[in-house]
A and B are shown apart, each in its own frame.
Chain A
Amino acid sequence: MESKTIYFERLGGPTYIGRPNGEHAREVLKLDSLDENKNMRFVVDIPETTYNINSSYFLGLFGDSVRAAGSIEKFRERFTFRTHGKDYRVIDRGIERALVRDKGLGIQS
């Protein structure tokens, strides 16, 4: 089992905002190719000094990984978030949103 730690403080901070920033971080971390290795496990270290991670940043960075995992449980199995005691609601919210498929609202005539 391989493991990689993603240190958020190396990605910027203390605020993490913007989908392009999240996507750029994903590109630099080469998460697309790392995701293909099903034996890879990730630890995401979020420093205590973090002010906020917003939804778009999270989705830009992890959205494709969530969908590659296919479920909340499988994603959580692969990605462990080390938050130093803080509760980041954006994590659960982001995972949930990334998994919602079938875009569109459905129109009833």
Chain B
Amino acid sequence: MKKQTYNNQYLLQVRAEKALKQSLKDRSGSTKRPPYKRLPLDYLNKVKPNSTINETTEIVSLVVPKIFCLITNPEATLEFLASAANLVNFLNLKQLVLDHSEVEKHDLGAEVLLGFAIKEVEVAANYRNREIKISGKYPESDRKMRLINALGVVQKLEVEHRKSEDDKLEIFDFRGRKQVHLALGAEDDKNRGAKRFVDYLNRCLAYTKTELTQSGREDFLDYTGEIIDNAERHSDESKWYICGYLDDTDDGDSQQITDAKGANAAQQSESSDTAIEETEPQFCEIVIYNFGRSIADTFLELSDDSFAKSLVSPYIDHHTKKKLFTKTWRERDLLTLIALQSYISCQTKDADDDCGQGTVDLIEFFHRVSEETTDFESTHINMTIISGFTALYFDGKYRLTKNEKGREIIAFNDENDLNEKPDSNYVKSLTKAKFPGTLIAIRFPLSAKYIKPVEDESDNTPS
């Protein structure tokens, strides 16, 4: 039998067929990972969502949870956000429906991150030469709709939407980057962002012919500046984000009133309901976040002989020895809690180092506003710090208190004792989801003591 030999023509044909097959494979996008995925989205979908949706599906409908709040419902909210971010892996996706119709409560942080995630999914698809048709259903409340339009997914996707001339919104959306080369006298993003944020708040107050007092302005700047400083110092990413939102629109279906009634339904009388409607202060929402290592991660990565580690080790050892750690109270939760205390920072190098001030300033400011706000229980301030798998919740119940050494301590228990476990309703150990970085979200009324009437009523321009 004559041995088969391959002539050049045959080999060329084989090679051409192989090349065609490869080309078709590339075009169909059947690679295992999408070639485009920006870093922040990669952080968001690192958390494996508990989703049963098949990743090969072409149509997805995501129903936004009823309580879509990072402040009051962090775990479920983060879990949903991870599901949204994970859509980047749905390579056959053609249509996405975001259903907000069941949302009863939401906050700025949740909507901002959702918009962020969906936008990135869209951009990733475009990079693969695919188009996803994205549509959605609004919640019933106009107030909620305005937030989604202003800073949520509608804004991020640049979708045209209905705007009313009666809308009174003040929006702040700033993205900053860490200054690599410090030039003396030059204004970096930190200074620019903080100053613009204060100016933004004064614009909000101009609606009511008021403005921040000097001390109010100082405190807002101090608080904002410290948080940004921390974000730049402790984050892997060079970027940080700050958002602000104030809705001063007068409509009959105010979420604030709804919240107030929901929070105190058993206690409010008809007269107090009317009082709330008439005198409800403006609520301002602030979210500042960065992606990267969590607070606990930065401590866990320290070498055992570092000074900063020596500050936290006694606490870890104590809780371990007393067998206080459980599934709902873990070492990383304690590390996050310890990091809030004064003079504790992963950057602390020695006994003279005064690092560890920023978060104390934040908490002090929060408490001052809390003390000076109105008497309505419904206007309590809510704040959360979420870092990795730990969420700390503040509503004024647990206070920062100086000990005999002059250190401010907040332990989130009745004894205000860091030796004891904290209240699990206030220091939450997340298991199903995490925030890959650090996020601070605050919702607070603007206090009368920080506000003074503008002297000349004809001049509404904030100073």
Residues of A within 8 A of B (CB): 10-12, 14-21, 24-25, 28, 51-52, 54-57, 59, 63-64, 67, 86-90, 97-98, 100-109
Contact = CB atoms under 8 A, between A and B. Distances in A.
B351 A101 contact: yes
23 contacts: A10-B185, A16-B191, A17-B190, A18-B229, A20-B232, A20-B233, A25-B184, A51-B217, A55-B361, A56-B226, A63-B354, A64-B352, A87-B214, A89-B215, A100-B343, A100-B354, A102-B351, A104-B310, A104-B343, A105-B341, A105-B409, A107-B318, A107-B418
Contact of A54 (B185, B214, B221, B353): B221
B419 A19 contact: no
Name the residue in A11, A18, A20, A21 with the highest tally of chain B Cβ atoms < 10 Å from its Cβ. A18
B159 interface: no
B315 A107 contact: yes
Contact of B353 (A12, A16, A88, A103): A103
Contacts of A98: 354
A91 B232 CA distance: 24
Contact of B195 (A51, A55, A105): A51
Contact of B222 (A28, A55, A59, A103): A55
Given A54-B221, A107-B315, A21 B351 contact: no
Interface stretch (B47-55, B258-266, B387-395, B400-408): B400-408
Interface in B325-370: 341, 343-344, 348, 351-355, 357-358, 361
A108 B409 CA distance: 14
Contact of B358 (A56, A104, A108): A56
A12 B351 contact: no
B182 interface: yes
Contacts of B307: 103
Interface string B293-321: 00000000000000100110011001000
A101 B352 contact: yes
A105 B194 contact: no
Nearest to B214: A86
Nearest to B307: A103
B225 A54 contact: yes
A1 to B, nearest CB: 27
Contacts of B351: 101-103
Interface in B395-430: 403, 405-407, 409, 418-419
B170 interface: no
Nearest to A21: B182
Contact of A55 (B228, B233, B357): B357
B315 A14 contact: no
A90 B218 CA distance: 9
B188 interface: yes
A21 B190 contact: yes
B187 interface: yes
Contacts of B233: 19-20
Nearest to A100: B406
Contacts of A101: 351-352
A88 B66 CA distance: 45
B346 to A, nearest CB: 13
Given A15-B191, A56-B357, A101-B352, A106 B222 contact: no
Ranked 4 nearest A-B pairs via Cβ: A17-B225, A52-B221, A54-B225, A24-B182
A100 B407 CA distance: 9
Contacts of B405: 100, 102, 105-106
B177 to A, nearest CB: 13
B21 to A, nearest CB: 55
A101 B179 CA distance: 30
B198 interface: yes
Interface string B212-236: 0011011001100110110011000
Contacts of A15: 191, 194-195, 221, 225
Given A24-B184, A52-B198, 7 more contacts: A20-B182, A90-B222, A103-B348, A105-B407, A107-B318, A107-B418, A109-B419
